[in-house]
Amino acid sequence: MSLVKSPAQLRPRGEGSGARKARLVVLVSGNGGNLQALLDAIAAGAVNASIVLVLSSDPDAFALKRAEAAGIPSIALPYNRDQRIEKEASRIAFDTRLADEVSARDPDYIFLLGWMRILGMAFIGRFPGKIVNLHPALPGCFPGTHAIERAWEACARAELSETGVMTHFVPDELVDAGPVILSERVKMKSNETLADFEFRMHETEHELVVKTAKMLASIASGDGKGER
């Protein structure tokens, strides 16, 4: 495992000797299992943070129901191409609107937990060193979608004996690439079903999301325990 410091200027807001809670925004597109793991860890006091917004690209994502059940503000913001302007201009307009929604919550970090849209620089450039992505593969391996399935298929062909999960910062538009925060290796098992393998990978994802949030929240809150 390795921790890379965020290049963001992290400073406590307000005064007082007590460590404040870090402010997190979570972007989702689906079921929200990793969101739930983070919600549970925060509720248990394991992560010194508050989720101040859950934003989904899919209005029907179950993650929105998880946020509602936890009393977390949530927004559905699906992308709809604006036919009146060029494709790239439409994308920039969407990313700008997305950034405005997130910026209004003044986050310390933005966690991409199953977010299925590639973010452009109109969004990324607004939050340097604050965007954290979770990807179910080791650095440099299986970028893009269906990483778990592709790793399982590679194992079935005897091409792979281990895979893993990582969290990393998002400095640009490259997919599933950027300075690694934490990573965890997962051994492959021969003759394991895809469903069983997916279950083990999701468990590792949940653990790594919580570890990452705990470390970054510690840095943001200024309690001096973020490095190790």
Yes or no: say if 107 and 25 are a contact pair by the CB < 8 Å rule.
yes
Check if 135 is active-site: yes
Cα-based torsion angle of the residue sequence 183, 189, 195, 199 in order, rounded to the nearest 10 degrees:
-40
- Pick the closest to residue 134 from 221, 38, 226, 46 (CA basis): 38
Please, which contacts does 100-103 make with residues 24 or more away whose CB atoms are closer than 8 Å? 101/53, 101/55, 101/75, 101/77, 102/25, 102/53, 102/55, 102/126, 102/127, 103/127
Q: Is 197:204 a contact under the CB 8 Å cutoff? A: no
**What pairs with residue 27 in β-bridges?**
55, 112
Task: Give me the catalytic one of 135, 146, 202, 206.
Answer: 135
Residue with structure tokens 């036919």?
Answer: 83
Q: How far apart are CA 137 and CA 188, in angstroms?
A: 12
Question: In angstroms, rounded to a whole number, what is the distance separating the alpha carbons of residues 212 and 228?
Answer: 12
Q: Active-site residues: which are they? A: 135
